[in-house]
Amino acid sequence: MKNLLIPILISYSIFSFSQVIEEEINLTNATIEIPGTLTYPETKGKMPLVIFIPGSGNPDRNGNQEGTPMQASYIKAFADTLNNHKIAFYRYDKRSARPENIKKLKDVTILDFVADVKVAIAHFKNDQRFSGIHLIGHSQGSLVAMLAVTEDITSFISMAGAGQTIDKILVQQINAQNPELGKLVEEHFQELMTKGSIATVDPNLVTMFSPQSQIFFKTWASIDPQEEIKKLHIPILILNGDKDIQVAITNAQNLKTAQPKASLVIIPNMNHVMKEEDSEVTGLENYFDPKYPISTKMIAAVVQFISQ
């Protein structure tokens, strides 16, 4: 892993609306900018702090991806709701979501995302406003959070986290749509993991297996979440929605098997972006519109776990 540099630039601007205080916190990891937002209720006494680690792609601190239809704002909705339950929430722009970082992201790996989380942990670990730091890792962020856990972390929540290596998950996802293409993806991953690179990428997969993506996938696929969760000795909650079409509940069950001391909760009618689905709202509709609410059952499970 690259050397971790403690943030050298921190600036704040504070706003208060409806008894919720908002701080803009600009952290850096070496030359990478990691701006984020801390929100917390105006109340007496210490409160728990959640650090939210986002999933794959290029989500900003709200859960939106610039230039795409993905505008669900699910991370901000999650933060707002936990603030109402007297839980502080820190969310940040993933390094790949920042245009000013893009030219600096040569040969980025999942371990760089881990280093970014450790910068945030280092910033908050001595903050006397908070009773403890709780990591919530969503999707890809579940594995990132596992790898970022330090002695300063009170608990860990895996939200729609993978329960096997990413190569196996991607093969399953693509095979379900196109078995022939799925077989090619499996063969490419086998070559990547054994030889370190793919000599000739199939024309249908050149975007997926670009030279930079090969470096990223090789590191990611070499880390087994089942092995990593075994190493954790803090309270763990594993959550997955039964309407998640990206990460099946078998992944959560695999994590539970690997770490029997963890609590497992399958959230009914919750999809991958933590929103509720019903007969009128299904598929990808609520990935694109912030008006759809996040799961109240998921919120209840998280609040109960953090508050215990």
Domain map (residue ranges) of the chain: 14-164+224-307, 169-213
Pairing status of strand 153-159 against strand 47-53 = unpaired
Contacts of residue 1, Cβ cutoff 8 Å, sequence gap at least 6: 111, 114, 115
Q: How many whole angstroms separate alpha carbon 7 and alpha carbon 29?
A: 6
Look at residue 283 and tell me whether its pLDDT is greater than 80. no
Residues 39 and 18: beta-carbon distance below 8 Å: no
Looking at residue 7, what is its pLDDT? 35
Q: At what angle do helices 140-148 and 110-124 cross, to 10 degrees?
A: 60
Tens-place pLDDT, residues 165-180: 999 999 998 998 999 9
Strand pairing class (20-29; 32-41): antiparallel
Question: Any idea which residue has 């990935």 for tokens?
Answer: 287
Map residue 134 onto helix, strand or coil. Answer: strand
Rounded to 10 degrees, the C-alpha dihedral 76/208/159/12 comes to: -40
Q: Measured between alpha carbons, how far is 251 from 225 in angstroms, rounded to an integer?
A: 10
Distance of alpha carbon 286 from alpha carbon 275, whole angstroms = 7
Residue (of 262, 8, 52) closest to 145 by Cα position: 52
What does the pLDDT average to over 89-103?
Answer: 82
> How far is Cα 185 from Cα 167, in angstroms, rounded to an integer?
9
Out of 38-52, 124-138, 278-292, least confident range: 278-292
What's residue 97's pLDDT? 75
Alpha-carbon distance 305 to 21, whole Å? 24
* pLDDT value for 69: 81
pLDDT at 120 over 60: yes
Predicted local confidence at residue 14, as pLDDT: 42
> What mean pLDDT is predicted for residues 188-202?
96
- How confident is the prediction for the chain on average, in pLDDT? 90
- Superfamily for domain range 14-164+224-307: Alpha/Beta hydrolase fold, catalytic domain (3.40.50.1820)
Rounded CA-CA distance 281/275 in Å is 10
Q: Which strand (E) or helix (H) includes residue 200?
A: none
Structure tokens at 250: 């078998």
**108 vs 6, residue with greater confidence:** 108
CA angle 30, 142, 70 (to 5 degrees): 85
Average pLDDT in the 253-265 region?
98
Question: Sorting pLDDT into bands at 50, 70 and 90, what band is 291?
Answer: confident
Least confident of 63-72, 84-93, 210-219, 233-242: 63-72
Q: Which of 232, 303, 240 is nearest to 261 (CA)?
A: 232
* Cβ(96)–Cβ(70) below 8 Å: no
